[in-house]
Amino acid sequence: MSTQNDQISSTTSKTSPEQSFEREKKITVLRSSIADLESQTAQLEAQLESTKARLRNDPVATVQRHIRLLHDYNDIKDIGQGLMGLIADARGVRQIDVQKEFGVGNDD
């Protein structure tokens, strides 16, 4: 029995010329695809470096600056809201009325 199984196994593990050709064809296509992807990667990396070179400031520093400016803006806005609230309380009117008087919209 084991002899028959060995013969079947060796027969099925052999590849026909057509199978070998198809396999080589697939390998060639895959290698070509890899080469194309490597070329695209190189182009994108070059484009990235070119773009980075045109930046005036370090991107991390720019983001940190924007965050700091946003904090400053929010602090100033909070102070302004507080002052308008005090004015509204002193006048006995709604804060929205004071905002309209000073030209501050709902989205500001």
| Tens-place pLDDT, residues 48-74 | 999 888 888 888 899 999 999 999 999
**DSSP assigned state of 106:** T
Provide the 10 A C-beta neighbour count for residue 98.
19
Domain enclosing residue 7, as ranges: 1-54
Does residue 45 share a domain with residue 91? no
Judge if 7 and 49 occupy the same domain: yes
Q: Taking 70 as the threshold, does the pLDDT of residue 29 lie above it?
A: yes
- Same domain, yes or no: 32 and 73: no
Contact status, residue 73 vs residue 82, Cβ threshold 8 Å: no
Of 2-6, 40-44, 53-57, 70-74, give the lowest mean pLDDT range. Answer: 2-6
